[in-house]
Amino acid sequence: MPIPLAASRRGRGPLLVCHPGGPGLHPDYLASLGALAEQRTVAVLHPRGVGRTPAAAAPDDYGLDAYTADLGAWIDREAGGGPVDLLGHSHGGIVAGLLAARRPAAVRRLVLLATPAYGGAEADARAHEGYRARRDEPRVAAALDALERHAELPADGGALGRLVADLLPLWMGPYPHAVTRWQRHLAELPANAEALRHFNTLVHPELTTALLGLREIRGPTLALAGELDALAGPDHLRRLATLVPGARTVTVPGSGHMCQLDAADAVAKAVAEFLLD
């Protein structure tokens, strides 16, 4: 049964629906996409268990099918079934892509922002290789130390939010002022440990197979990722280009997994131009 999602809206004009990632991160981390609100109504969804949306009834009810059903139900309720322009970041890109594949009439244009193309051991190895390559950056070294100290996720949402803030340098380019500002903000936002734990233990190991569903996407698609993104960077973009028929790909120079934070202007420009085509 879909959970009715809350949403934060900004701006006026054609609707752009944005699905956050994590899973389990507070949706406010996508606040920088508000730059697109100069010409559009930007609706940032609150996925199940974060922000103003209730948690799932059971700790194992955070699978991709559940998230996709929630998204589809929101579009039906708030946008008459679409078609809408749809953007998903990271895990949210997976959800958005699966909806576009399963319900093509609901999506006009699709933006996959820092969205992985595969999971499992291969993705883990690629991520750790990317992190180690930047270990000489003091903030990255401190984040890696924090990651190693937390082999188990904190069960408390506030503690998990603070850990996310500590790990943020792994996911951003070397821009100290932007990193520090967003670390302070994210440390105040609770996260959903059950959602993230479910993804890490049950979804991520089988993600490569699940993402084969993206081959059914038929609408215009833009895939963007940061040059330094160890979770969904250039190698993932290359694979998305083979998975999604006709997908355009853009690599954002010097940027990380949170490219909407450390390269906000470049991301907003690329998305706006794509949506206007």
pLDDT tens per residue, range 188-214: 999 999 999 999 999 999 999 999 999
Partnered with residue 85 across adjacent β-strands are 16, 109
Which stretch of 100-109, 169-178, 221-230 has the lowest confidence by average pLDDT? 169-178
Quick one: 261 and 233 in the same domain? yes
Quick one: 25 and 62 in the same domain? yes
Quick one: 54 and 175 in the same domain? no
pLDDT at position 65, please? 97
Which stretch of 37-41, 149-153, 237-241 has the lowest confidence by average pLDDT? 149-153
Q: Chain-wide mean pLDDT for the chain?
A: 95
8 Å CB contact between 128 and 143? no
Whether the predicted pLDDT of 277 surpasses 90: no
pLDDT at position 59, please? 87
Quick one: 220 and 113 in the same domain? yes
Question: Does a structural domain hold residue 220?
Answer: yes
List, for residues 78-104, the tens digit of each pLDDT value: 999 999 999 999 999 999 999 999 999
Quick one: 77 and 199 in the same domain? yes
Whether the predicted pLDDT of 64 surpasses 80: yes
pLDDT at position 175, please? 77
Quick one: 112 and 133 in the same domain? no
Quick one: 114 and 221 in the same domain? yes
Question: Does a structural domain hold residue 1?
Answer: no
- Range 49-54 average pLDDT: 97
* CA 53 to mean position of chain CA atoms: 17
pLDDT at position 178, please? 78
> For the chain, how many structural domains are there in total?
2
pLDDT at position 112, please? 98
Quick one: 160 and 81 in the same domain? no
Whether the predicted pLDDT of 176 surpasses 80: no
Quick one: 139 and 222 in the same domain? no
DSSP letters spanning 68-85: HHHHHHHHHHHHTT--EE
pLDDT at position 14, please? 96
**Distance separating alpha carbons of residues 130 and 138, to the nearest angstrom:** 15
List, for residues 253-262, the tens digit of each pLDDT value: 999 999 999 9
**What contacts 7, CB < 8 A, 6 or more positions away?**
43, 44, 45, 46, 74, 78
Q: How far is CA 61 from CA 4, 137, 148, 212, 275, in A?
A: 14, 38, 28, 22, 33
Quick one: 115 and 135 in the same domain? no
Last residue of a domain, one of 165, 186, 207: 186
**β 6-10/41-46 pair status:** antiparallel
Whether the predicted pLDDT of 181 surpasses 90: no
